[in-house]
Structure 1
């Protein structure tokens, strides 16, 4: 199959992004094929686990549990868990969120607090602290995976924000665009088209700012 043979040419981060999308879209066959390719490439199992674990922030516990169970059967490694440290997650979350959103950080929290103070707090503690601040994947790798997920699920506003965030932490634009276009390899052409439309919107707005 042409699409599956093309997986062999993808970089590690592209495959991690694509398996994240396959996970949230429940494309079980493609998920298995991509997982097999990652393992053939000797991708550290920790990286695959972290990419799949963070999907629960976007697709919920049921989706993540299905994917993590499949992964566990393929790898069969016992996981260790250090425990919950609220203060650490809060500090780490604030630092990571500031890196991603830069000068838009305060406005982001202010906006979310206006309709849900709980979500504003959980964004920092749960999202950027507890999950996205974990070791195993770099923040850059996590952002590329998230962009693939948000393109797959067609969340325009969040995708746009994470494209900005990825650029803020120096993820190359060509890596962002490739991770979006790769969605066509798992028969998610409409998601790839959606993601590229949002990416092009970001580029147009940035070019307009530069020329003004």
Structure 2
């Protein structure tokens, strides 16, 4: 009762009339409702799996998570599965749940291509390791179900700078135009970061044709809340959801659903920035269309380099770091996400690893430290790849070990111990 009351209070504060009118139901009704919601996504009673540990755990999962939250009327089951997959993907720690909800997306009417696009979209918000791991998991789910994705290209046609600015104007209005102007003027703390945000994140990924802009925006809001982004990022994407057609009630439902997948503390941190956007929209009476000045920025320059130039530079960088060839990286995902391999080479290695500010050895040690600190299941293989890369670019075993040990104050002993164990496997194979 208390948990349901807390959820209703949050819903009422956010101005969700559907949520605020919900009342507590007897346990049997909640269980029935929960089982119906589970069956809709291809699931069932979890008692056989969870009862050996605790019958209460399966009851809470069915009645609370599904009966009280996932069965709520404010979002369709189909949309809820999109939200679940988006959030779980960027956590990188819940493969069984992600596998289940990829199946749930299929059960509720999403096409295999739309599912892959949702996972690929996460490269912007969770990074390549999480997206790669999720796409490989989707490949397994599709194979088990006899589902094919198709290999048609999903790359948008046109100049990445122009496409990126135009997309940002749709979701961010003239504030996005001001952001793009910073790149042209060379102002801001990192013009190159801003340029890559426009050209790769928004020009390339956001413009892919396999998922609607509206659905991408809701998935993005789930992702940025799940990874605990700054209030300003949450605010931007709450506003963008409203701009692309989602209602206050639907956004509120997303926040309530997030309590199931990321926990109450993280979900509740998104309440304040969400309320701030709702209040601002009420005061202003809506959103102004992008001005002609904002639209003109989209044509004031072109993307910095062609994709082929970036790709070739990435192949060269990878040849100095890894035993894998560029062709092998491209082919690794050709059957399910044909562009993912090229993105790894063009962006990760061509745009980032090839920058002149650090040598390759330093970049590999930085990658090792970052992956060790994050320490999820999805990071295990990339960590071993970059330990190998650090050694290939001149780092000693002692330097690799120190890079990982340096994470002790920031990531804790458990993650560092796991990373040391993975690095030791690489050392023993050389």
**Fold match, TM over 0.5?**
yes
SS of residue paired to 1:133:
coil
Question: Structure 1 residues 111 and 207, CA, compared in 2 at 3 Å: closer, same or farther?
Answer: farther
Shift of 1:163: 1.2
Residue 187 to residue 167, structure 1, CA distance change in 2 (3 Å): closer
Displacement of 1:114: 0.7
Equivalent position to 2:276, from 170, 185, 201: 201
- Provide the rounded CA distance (Å) in 2 between the counterparts of 1:187 and 1:106: 33
| Aligned residue number for residue 95 of structure 1 | 166
Q: CA deviation at 1:148?
A: 0.5
Match of 1:41 among 93, 98, 108: 108
Specify the alignment match of 1:31 in structure 2. 98
| Map of 1:162 onto structure 2 | 237
User: Aligned runs of 1:104-143 on 2, under 5 Å?
Assistant: 104-110=175-181, 113-143=187-217
Deviates more, 1:44-53 or 1:89-98: 89-98
Shift of 1:110: 4.3
Q: TM-score, normalised by structure 1?
A: 0.87
**Farther-moved stretch of structure 1 (32-41 vs 8-17):** 8-17
CA distance in 2, matches of 1:141, 1:179: 13
Whether contact under 8 Å (2:156, 2:209) holds in the other structure is no
Q: CA deviation at 1:86?
A: 8.1
Mapped partners of 1:89, 1:80: distance in 2: 22
SS of the equivalent of 2:208 reads: coil
Alignment partners' CA distance in 2, 1:8 and 1:207: 29
Deviates more, 1:156-165 or 1:143-152: 156-165
Q: Is the 8 A contact 2:155 2:208 kept in 1?
A: no
**For 2:122, which of 42, 46, 55 is the aligned residue?**
55
Would the alpha carbon gap of residues 168 and 41 (structure 1) be closer, same or farther in structure 2, given more than 3 Å must change?
closer
Q: Is the 8 A contact 2:217 2:244 kept in 1?
A: no
Stretches of 4+ moved more than 6 A in 1? 83-86
Structure 1 CA distance, aligned partners of 2:281 and 2:149? 46
Alignment coverage as a number of residue pairs: 210
- Secondary structure of 2:241's counterpart equals helix
Q: Report the alpha carbon displacement of residue 80 of structure 1 after superposing the two structures with TM.
A: 2.5
What do residues 102-126 of structure 1 show as CA deviations (whole Å, max 9, x unaligned)?
1212222345741111122112211
Unaligned segments of structure 2, at least 5 residues: 1-60, 286-430
1:57 CA drift (Å):
0.5
1:68 aligns with 2:128: no
Are residues 12 and 118 of structure 1, via their aligned partners in 2, closer, same or farther at CA, if it must alter by over 3 Å?
same
Which of the pair has the greater relative contact order for Cα pairs under 8 Å at 6+ separation?
1
* Separation in 2, partners of 1:117, 1:84: 25
Bigger share in helix: 1
Q: Distance in 1 between matches of 2:177 and 2:162?
A: 15
Q: What's the CA shift for 1:85?
A: 7.1
Tell me the alpha carbon deviations over residues 42-83 of structure 1, each in whole angstroms, 9 at most, x when there is no partner: 321111111111111011111111111101111133652638
Query: In the alignment, is residue 171 of structure 1 matched against residue 246 of structure 2?
Result: yes
Which stretch of structure 1 is more off in the superposition, 148-157 or 193-202?
A: 193-202
CA distance 1:154–1:187, shift in 2 (3 Å): closer
TM-score (norm 2): 0.45
- Partner Cα separation in structure 1 for residue 71 and residue 210 of structure 2: 23
Change (3 A) 1:84 1:44: closer
State the shift of 1:92 in Å: 1.9
The alpha carbon displacement at 1:167 in A equals 1.6
CA RMSD of aligned residues (A): 2.4
**1:153 equivalent in structure 2:** 227
Q: Secondary structure of the equivalent of 1:59?
A: coil
Secondary structure of 2:127's aligned partner? helix
Residues 8 and 88 of structure 1, relative CA distance in 2, 3 Å threshold: farther
